[in-house]
Structure 1
Amino acid sequence: MAHSDHGHHDAHGHHGPRTMPTVLTAPEAVLVWQKRAMIVTAVFAVISVVFAFTAEGRQHLLRSYLMGVMTCFNFVGGALAFLLVQYLSGGKWGAILRRPLEAMTRTFGLVVVMMLPVMFRMKELYQWARWTDPQQTWQAYKAGLMTQEEMLMANSKHAMLNPISAIIQTVVVFAFMGLVISLANKWSLQRDADPSGGTSASYNKWRVRFENLAGPSTLIYVILMTDFVIVWVKSLDIEWSSSVYGAQFLVAQGYAVLALGILTLILLSKYEPIKTMFRTTEQHDLGKLAFAFTMLNIYLTFAEFLIIYSGNVPDEAEWYIHRIHGGWWVVLSLDVICHWVVPFCILLSRDFKRSRSKMIWLCAWMIGARFIDMFWLIEPNFKDAQGNLHLAANTGILSYVTMPIAVVACWMYFYLGQLAKRPLIAINDPDTEELLEPEHAH
């Protein structure tokens, strides 16, 4: 299939099946993109270091670093979740997206390393790590460093939220993810190299093996991921409780991974083998899936707010008050418009979902919107920022721009490197054969 303008394509351009491309490896362009990612990493890392020379900058560097690390974790965890779901459900949408998803998961080791500074310096971020027993929280309360409610909540959550417990929980989460990622990537290569590949026996053998891995792993991942984000994000506000916090992060992971996955495929569609294999039909399907995740993201977030608003319980409402007053209403408005309204309205259009040039910009927009949302979730947890955005008085908060970009660009460098290491198409998969069929969409 020729892609001259990467915009809207004629669904009737091919009336017979296509042949598998002779070249299945990633194009040289991936290495060029990788070098650009490293340049962005270096530039923004140097700019971020400048903030370390001011008191306000030092105060925000670790917070903004946490935001960048959690964004990378969302890419890895979301890619793993999509892989597991695709192995259970099947479908051409997953076949074309599989190798980018696998490449994302293989950056898991980098995310583990990135988490180490957060774990080593957790006392600077979390009240439960700074005051670890009732006597210490009582002293902090008397010194005016904790409110009475914070003291009581820290004591009641001590079994889960203390330095040793947090490290143990993180090790368990990472060990499980590492095991599943290792098996999924190992078996993927073994399936392609299967001497009996292309036969029904081979298809069934690998289908059963991946389904047996994906079934229980999906459930366990959701539980462990919820625990992980509670410990390292939600507990930034020791008082805050939410029964859908994990689900919100899971949907946000899917939102971000789909945006990056679609963006990757469209950029690669200028070159073989994706040029032949990535049909307009699959792009349309992935666009519809992105639309579904956008709607689910809106639903979960607004439903939580509506329930808390209706209940009108001061302890629960305070979390939103901190994120509305003192200039935060501007950030909230940007979050709603950029993160939900714009993608929702645009993805309603069938023609837009089928246009490659337009989807490039939308996917980049959606990834940028995730930064706004993470900023709104993380920064207002700290007392100096609650109900006080203080942009003019504190230039250190600009590290929320430079540091996350440096961290995510570093992750992108490794992602692109992993993408270039393996063939971009899974060979021994019946769904791959369907990608070679002529377009049937109208």
Structure 2
Amino acid sequence: MAHHANTLPHELDAPAFVDAWRTRALITGAIASVLGIAMGFLAHDDWEHFFRSWLLGFIICFGFCIGGMAMLMVQYLSGGKWGLLIRRSLEAMTRTLPLVFLMFLPVGIFGASLKKLYIWARYPNTEDALRHHLINAEQAHAIAFKKPMLNVVSFWWVSLLCFAIWAVYTFFLNRWSLQRDADTAPNVPYWQTKFENISGFGVLLYSILLTAGAIYWVMSLDPTWYSTVYGLQFLVGQGYGVLALVILTLIGLSKAEPMKTVFRITEQHDLGKLCFAFTMLNIYLAFAAFLIIWSGNSPEEIPWFLDRIRGGWGVIATLDVMFHWLLPFTLLLSRDLKRIKSRLKVVCYIMIFARCWDMFWLIEPNFADARRNLHMSIGILEYCVVPVALIAFWMAYYFTQLKQRPLVATNDPHLAEILEPEHAHA
């Protein structure tokens, strides 16, 4: 039997219901903002938990934005028709960088929040702080030893440099993508070489800058902690979350054209397998780090894990294992699940929730009142609303950017292949 290729719809813009998505996100963000501010006034910890939960929300939104840029460059390097489907969504994620930078400002610029979050900023004079028993000897030694790096000036310069370089890459990746679509001649080798050249070095630079950002923004919450795999864990975690969000976006858009035509079960299954690969890599990195520290049994390293498994935190750690790895890994083993949209959506929701849960487990036990002491309070409840507000506003901006460009890149060599009917590959 002859297989007749599908025809690409004339209308390639995002469907009208994306506006409804944006409206719901804005309403959610507004409600969560009111609740978060109210809890900040009611809490008795002088807004400390508000800034901690803000940091969590910022890291999640930052992961979607910069992780989207990294995934965009990876698909340019690897090729394949799967990149054609997710390219516009990833580009929309990268263009949220201005909003992500605004989210960073309350963390990095305001002196009050910087001192509430980072003990090295609060007590730059370690001798006086140690003398008044504000920090212990291990913290004083770590802050003094790392002072050339852990200081407010370095924090600012490194953060601004990271955002500036990411902004340059975001600009060129998005600009060249439009120029490629506008090119009347295919010029396939030219554009492939152009994107491969910027993406090859870009992935390496992204890995370095992400490691620097993870160290300054999260790992330095506990100046005594160090880990050579910390940046790589954030890198894999960003890919984990970005893939889940991309799949949810594609499934939602597939209810209407043009995604209804181009998003086939074959590509959905491929993206599900890629999620499975990132889930396995997540398991490997996290367990390997734990196993090495457990087997070494070094008194300088084990307190970091003890802070996160004692005093009630064992429940959070156990649920983190279930949400982050066990459930996605078990569910994604199924071939049928990866080919059924409604079931794959559930897995993706679990993955995004698990990413937030994992960041809570990483961030909160760094503070003296929380380590080995999980206690319910109004402050802790701010983790339920402040990150939701930031993520909701980020999603609204993401949906806005999604409507700025056609959803399908027309000048792509894989377009003809992806328009083939489904049963042609059965």
Short-chain TM bin: over 0.9
CA displacement, residues 209-244 of structure 1 (integer Å, 9 cap, x when unaligned): 111110111101100110011000001011001010
- Report the Cα distance in structure 1 between the residues aligned to 2:106 and 2:99, rounded to whole angstroms: 12
* Counterpart contact for 1:57–1:396, Cα < 8 Å: no
Shift in CA distance, 16/57, structure 1 to aligned 2, threshold 3 Å: farther
Moved more, 296-305 or 425-434: 425-434
Is residue 194 of structure 2 the alignment partner of residue 206 of structure 1?
Answer: no
What does residue range 320-399 of structure 1 map to in structure 2 within 5 Å? 320-391=305-376, 394-399=377-382
Aligned residue for 1:130? 122
Paired position in structure 2 for 1:172? 161
Structure 2 counterpart of 1:412, one-letter code: M
Give the counterpart letter for 2:313 in structure 1: W
Paired position in structure 2 for 1:412:
395
CA distance in 1, matches of 2:73, 2:361: 30
Quote how far apart the aligned CAs of 1:437 are.
1.6
Return the match for 2:5 from 4, 17, 22: 17
CA distance in 2, matches of 1:354, 1:309: 39
2:19 corresponds to 1:34: no
Amino acid paired to 1:92 = K
1:76 corresponds to: 65
Residues 147, 441 of structure 1: CA spacing in aligned structure 2 closer, same or farther, 3 A cutoff?
farther
Deviations 1:347-373 (A, max 9, x none): 000000000111111111111111110
What residue is the counterpart of 1:258 in the other structure? Answer: 243
**What is the match of residue 5 of structure 1?**
none
* Distance in 2 separating the partners of 1:368 and 1:296: 18
Tell me what 1:306 maps to.
Answer: 291
What secondary structure is seen at the aligned counterpart in 1 of 2:300? Answer: helix
Q: Which of 421, 435, 438 does residue 404 from structure 2 map onto?
A: 421
How far residue 433 of structure 1 moved from its aligned partner, in angstroms, is 2.1
TM-score norm. by structure 2 comes to 0.97
Give TM-score, length-normalised by structure 1: 0.94
Question: Counterparts in 2 of 1:279-318, with a 5 A limit?
Answer: 279-318=264-303
SS at the partner of 1:430? coil
CA distance in 2, matches of 1:16, 1:142: 80
For the Cα contact (< 8 Å) 2:181–2:409, is it kept in 1? Answer: yes
Equivalence map 1:235-246=2 (5 Å): 235-246=220-231
**Conserved? CA contact 1:248–1:297, under 8 Å:** yes
CA contact (8 A) 1:96 1:432 kept: no
SS at the partner of 2:226? coil
* Paired amino acid for 1:82: M
* Separation (CA, whole Å) in 2 of partners of 1:373 and 1:186: 35
Other-structure match for 1:434: 417
Structure 1 match to 2:36: 48
What is the CA deviation profile of residues 44-81 of structure 1, one whole-angstrom value per residue up to 9, with x for unaligned ones? 00000111212137220000000000000000111011
User: For 1:186-214, what per-residue CA distance to the aligned partner results, in whole angstroms no more than 9, with x for missing partners?
Assistant: 00011101122xx3xx1111111111110
Aligned AA for 2:339?
R
Q: Does the CA contact (< 8 Å) of 1:57 and 1:397 recur in 2? A: no
Q: Distance in 1 between matches of 2:283 and 2:415?
A: 33
Between the aligned partners of 2:425 and 2:305, the Cα distance in structure 1 is 45
Distance 1:59 1:83 in 2: 36
Aligned to 1:403: 386
Identity of aligned residues (%): 52
Deviation of 1:176 after TM superposition, in Å, equals 0.7
1:287 and 1:347 in contact (8 A); partners too = yes
Deviations 1:53-110 (A, max 9, x none): 1213722000000000000000011101101111111011111000000000000010
Say if 2:48 and 2:117, in contact at 8 Å, map to a contact too. no
Q: CA deviation at 1:438?
A: 2.4
- Distance in 1 of aligned mates of 2:165 and 2:83: 23
Matched, 1:58 2:41: no
Runs of 4+ in structure 1 deviating by more than 3 angstroms, as ranges, are none
1:10-37 superposed Cα distances (whole Å, 9 cap, x missing partner): xx9x932111111100000100000000
- Structure 1 unaligned blocks of 5 or more: 1-11
- Tell me which moved more, 357-366 or 63-72: 357-366
CA contact (8 A) 1:288 1:353 kept: yes
- Counterpart of 1:146? 135
Name the amino acid aligned to 2:12: L
Task: Map Cα deviations across residues 318-369 of structure 1 (whole Å, 9 max, x no partner).
Answer: 0000000111011011100011100000000000000011111111111111
Q: How many residues align?
A: 421
8 Å CA contact 2:71–2:90 kept in 1: the answer is yes
Q: Where do 1:96-115 residues align within 5 Å?
A: 96-115=85-104
3-state secondary structure, aligned to 1:426: coil
Q: Which runs of 5+ in 2 are unaligned?
A: none
